[in-house]
Amino acid sequence: MSVSYPEFSSLELLDQYIRNYETENCVQLWKRDSRTIEKMKAVCPLKLKTYNPELKYYSIIYACKKGGRLFKSESSGLRKTSSYKDNCPMAIKLALNSNGTKLKIVHMTENHNHPLDRQLFKNMPKQRKLEMEDKVEAIKMLKENCNQKLVQAYLQEKTGKSVKLKDLKNLRSSSKRSHKKRILNAEQKYKVALFKCKKIASIISNFSMNDFESHCNQLDDIIDLWSQQTEEVIVEHLEIDQEESMIP
């Protein structure tokens, strides 16, 4: 008996299929194993002559979260997720087709060694995850001091997802984190500083010659003072600017 399994011309289509499979079958899948095309080039260069690089994978195995070896949670490598592990054999295996244009399902084991519980499924973290739009709405409500239980009920009604109070708490604290000050690297700081220096240049270039000279002297003092702290860096950037200014 030959079964014809679906094939996918992009990772996006595959992802869609996997998500549909999860909701229709009330299972949560994870990528248990994968080999990239890049890695397999050395092993089978002939087969990979005409492949589509966007497919990225040479082979992938999706398995039921209750199956296989221990895995790390996506959000935190440290969280213990062993409670979901139960050696379930369910798996979907994909491989690149012969001319490398599609990823196709080559094998499917669809039986589980445990009952499929819709309620349990809905309670798994991945299924509780809210869409960005719902998150934004929830954060807004929480900031307006709406009662958490009301926000929870509202979101459950709206999305059909099993939103927990702890999810709302996490949302709140992650939105606070993202409002913290951005840390800039040296290149970004340089750009901000350059913007300000250009403003100074455009202001003082309109001054009379006397005022211009006295402001230039003030700037020299600032440069002297600050360059004592980080001499090398400033010299480096000044050289670049001098080169730029030589361009007519």
| Residues linked to residue 248 through DSSP beta bridges, in sequence order | none
Other C-beta atoms lying within 10 Å of the C-beta of residue 167: 19
Q: Which residues contact 239 (CB under 8 A, 6 or more apart)?
A: none
48 forms part of the interface with Zn ion (CB under 5 A):
no
How many of the chain's residues bind Zn ion (CB under 5 A)?
5
**Of positions 66, 84, 96, 163, contacts Zn ion by CB under 5 A:** 66
88 forms part of the interface with Zn ion (CB under 5 A):
yes
Nearer to Zn ion, 112 or 172 (CB): 112
The helix-helix angle for 132-143 and 148-159 (nearest 10°) equals: 160
Nearer to Zn ion, 50 or 83 (CB): 83
CB of 136 to Zn ion, least distance (A): 34
3-state secondary structure of 61: strand
Letter string b/e over residues 59-84, b meaning 16 or more CB atoms within 10 A of that residue's CB: bbbbbbbbbbeeeeeeeeeeeeeeeb
Nearer to Zn ion, 88 or 155 (CB): 88
Q: Which of the residues 208 through 237 are near Zn ion (CB under 5 A)? A: none
Beta strands in 37-122 (DSSP E): 57-64, 91-96, 103-109
CB of 59 to Zn ion, least distance (A): 21
Query: Alpha-carbon distance 9 to 94, whole Å?
Result: 12
CB of 92 to Zn ion, least distance (A): 12
Nearer to Zn ion, 14 or 88 (CB): 88
**CA angle 88–93–98, rounded 5-degree value:** 170
CB of 67 to Zn ion, least distance (A): 6
Instruction: Name the percent of the chain in helix, strand, coil, to the closest 5.
Output: 50, 10, 35
112 forms part of the interface with Zn ion (CB under 5 A):
yes
Q: Which residues contact 235 (CB under 8 A, 6 or more apart)?
A: 227
Q: Stretches 17-25, 62-70, 129-137, 183-191: which one binds Zn ion (CB under 5 A)?
A: 62-70
CB of 113 to Zn ion, least distance (A): 7
Nearer to Zn ion, 32 or 66 (CB): 66
| Positive or negative torsion for Cα 39, 75, 94, 68 | positive
**Of positions 37, 48, 60, 90, contacts Zn ion by CB under 5 A:** 90
CB of 61 to Zn ion, least distance (A): 14
What is the separation of C-alpha 176 from the centre of its chain, rounded to a whole number of angstroms? Answer: 19
32 forms part of the interface with Zn ion (CB under 5 A):
no
92 forms part of the interface with Zn ion (CB under 5 A):
no
Residues that bind Zn ion (CB under 5 A): 64, 66, 88, 90, 112
